[in-house]
Structure 1
Amino acid sequence: MSKPMRRGAAFAAVLALAAPAFAPAALAQDGGATGATVIATVNGTEITLAQVIALRESLPSELLLLEDDMLFNAIVEQLIQQQVLAQTRETLSPRDEANLAITRMDYLSGVAMEAIIAEGVNEAAIEATYEELMAGVPPVTEYSAAHILVETEAEAIEIKQSIDEGADFGEVARGASLDPGSAAAGGEMGFFDPARMVKPFQDAVIAAEKGVVTDPVQSEYGWHVILVHEQREIRRPTLDEARAEVASEVERRLIAAEIERLSAEAEITRPGADLDPALMKNTALID
């Protein structure tokens, strides 16, 4: 079954056809209008100002740049066309009923989440969550290094000796290293946290003298000679730098807590717990 057209795309098509059903002068008069004010009817079904306002709020920002009279008429025309089409579905299938129920739940749950966020996401909550998150972030020292991986200690000793005598580390790595991830780059690994490496390699990097090739180091992958270039401290991000991520975490926690609270208070039953999960693929049940 095809998906409905996105609202913005459908509206753009209507915009090109919309006739000036309401004169600009008339639009300027509010006449004590309310959300319940009827703008049009389709076979007796009312289209209200509230629906016009709600549809306008959902439109892409570029469409909101249109002149009010043009936009108003296009919105009304869109609603009329939707109502004309909707009225052809006099009898709803189980699929229709299910999708309408899902759409309603999706909208109302979204409104509920927006209310939770509006009430709970504030500067105090963001600052407190930032401090909590950063307290668990230890300082990290990253290292920039290169390495050459070979199978045997004898090979590693020979390679270190040749580099100590003037051979280019990168050239040797390209010709001898068994590490496919770094060999082509002359053994270069860029900056990394040594804690993410196997223990012997980690210890060797931390203990290495900058610019001096290490003695051969054995790991589960083979034998390494390592050249550490430099190290740097990674500072934790400031609140301003992390604000968007922290605010998202505050939102996530607030919503999760509220869902947990509401679920604990709700009477929830699961009479379908023993059904065969494969039934969800039986689309004939809702046709």
Structure 2
Amino acid sequence: MGFHKLVLLAATCCAFGSGAWAQEAVSAETVVARVNGEAITLGHMLLVRESLPNEYKSLPDRQLFDGILEQLVQQTILSQKSSAPDSLQIRLTLENDRRLMRAARMIEQWSEKPISEGAIQDAYEAAYSGVDQGLEYKAAHILVETEAAALELIEKVNAGEEFAALARDFSTGPSGPGGGDLGWFGKGMMVPPFEQAVIELEVGEVSKPVKTDFGWHVILLNETRAVESPALEDVREMLVEDLRRAAVEAEMAILRSQADIKLIEDPQIDPGAVKNFELLSQ
């Protein structure tokens, strides 16, 4: 942050354009200062504020206003003092920024197109109607520190001892006092080795020792059930975002197919050159 941080922390009160404006007359083109005739506008200040970390955005209005304005005044003075033409890095940065902002504006325009209820309903049915949503699992486990301890517990279970009682007596995990019960869970909710072991079990079956970062597990699968499809309203926002994304991608595909694109394949260009920032100073 550097220069921004120093200016804002100093919160220097500046003597440029401190008069009040009628709120209704203020616009992004309202001039707040002139430095050797060069205008600094409220729009310039708004863009600086948007680039600041949240900790600075929450400063009191006067402190923030004065700090940003002083920063822009200093930058304008330094910019005017520099007689050198824009460097290659400056020119390319400006080109990239302009390209990025214009592209973002196009994507925003496409994204603002309304999504019909029919399209949302169709997307919901395609994703959930008659589609197997997989299984949920109800399991219990005993967590111990060593594989040998896990094997001993499996022997006790096979000998007829109650799994829940063993979990209460031996498990080092937080579910131990509850008999090792983990409740219902679906795919992606457990660490991969644990999840894979559960998936491979039959209801009522006890696993072999399973190693995870937490230790060694002995797992009992109690029940399974089909995952119910969510209600439309519960996934509406996600579906709308997916539809908007698909619409943007479709528009982009059309424009790309219509564009005259020539990718220059030069064997002398090492792909690693994209990491050589020193090229900008040559």
- Specify whether residues 220 and 116 from structure 1 end up closer, same or farther in structure 2 by C-alpha distance, changes over 3 A only: same
Find the counterpart in structure 2 of residue 163 from structure 1.
161
Query: Which of the residues 236, 244, 251 maps onto 1:251?
Result: 244
Query: Which of the residues 137, 154, 179 maps onto 1:143?
Result: 137
- Specify whether residues 174 and 95 from structure 1 end up closer, same or farther in structure 2 by C-alpha distance, changes over 3 A only: same
Tell me if structure 2 keeps the 8 A contact 1:36–1:50.
yes
The TM-score normalised by the length of structure 1 is 0.63
Mapped pair 1:91 → 2:90: no
**SS of equivalent to 2:127:** helix
Q: Once the 2 structures are TM-superposed, how far is the Cα of residue 142 of structure 1 from its aligned partner?
A: 1.9
The TM-score normalised by the length of structure 2 is 0.64
Matched letter for residue 253 of structure 2: E
Which runs of 5 or more residues in structure 1 are unaligned?
Answer: 209-213
**SS of equivalent to 1:254:** helix
Tell me if structure 1 keeps the 8 A contact 2:198–2:219.
no
**SS of equivalent to 1:144:** strand
Q: Which has the larger radius of gyration?
A: 1
Q: Once the 2 structures are TM-superposed, how far is the Cα of residue 193 of structure 1 from its aligned partner?
A: 4.5
Tell me if structure 2 keeps the 8 A contact 1:173–1:187.
no
- Specify whether residues 143 and 23 from structure 1 end up closer, same or farther in structure 2 by C-alpha distance, changes over 3 A only: same
Q: Describe the superposition over 1:183-228 as per-residue Cα deviations: whole angstroms up to 9, x where unpaired.
A: 99976555344896469834x22xx4xxxxx5x778999xx88451
Quick one: percent identity of the two aligned structures? Answer: 27
Tell me if structure 2 keeps the 8 A contact 1:200–1:219.
no
Q: Any residues of structure 2 matched to 1:58-207 within 5 Å, and which?
A: 66=61, 76-89=69-82, 90-121=84-115, 125-135=119-129, 137-146=131-140, 159-163=157-161, 168-170=165-167, 174=171, 190-193=183-186, 197=196, 201-202=200-201, 204-205=202-203
Matched letter for residue 134 of structure 1: Y
- Specify whether residues 136 and 116 from structure 1 end up closer, same or farther in structure 2 by C-alpha distance, changes over 3 A only: farther
Matched letter for residue 270 of structure 2: D
Tell me if structure 2 keeps the 8 A contact 1:55–1:75.
yes
Query: Which of the residues 17, 24, 43 maps onto 1:21?
Result: 17
The root-mean-square deviation of aligned C-alpha atoms, in Å, is 5.0
**Equivalent residue pairs, number:** 261
Q: Once the 2 structures are TM-superposed, how far is the Cα of residue 78 of structure 1 from its aligned partner?
A: 4.6
Q: Once the 2 structures are TM-superposed, how far is the Cα of residue 57 of structure 1 from its aligned partner?
A: 7.0
Tell me if structure 2 keeps the 8 A contact 1:174–1:185.
no
Which runs of 5 or more residues in structure 2 are unaligned?
Answer: 189-194, 212-217
Q: Once the 2 structures are TM-superposed, how far is the Cα of residue 130 of structure 1 from its aligned partner?
A: 3.3
Find the counterpart in structure 1 of residue 215 from structure 2.
none
Tell me if structure 2 keeps the 8 A contact 1:156–1:225.
no
Tell me if structure 2 keeps the 8 A contact 1:36–1:49.
yes
Tell me if structure 1 keeps the 8 A contact 2:17–2:33.
no
Find the counterpart in structure 2 of residue 45 from structure 1.
38
- Specify whether residues 240 and 277 from structure 1 end up closer, same or farther in structure 2 by C-alpha distance, changes over 3 A only: same
Matched letter for residue 162 of structure 1: G
Mapped pair 1:285 → 2:267: no
CA distance in structure 1 between the partners assigned to 2:199 and 2:67 by the alignment: 69
Q: Describe the superposition over 1:132-167 as per-residue Cα deviations: whole angstroms up to 9, x where unpaired.
A: 32237524442212367999x9x9676323326x99
**SS of equivalent to 1:252:** helix
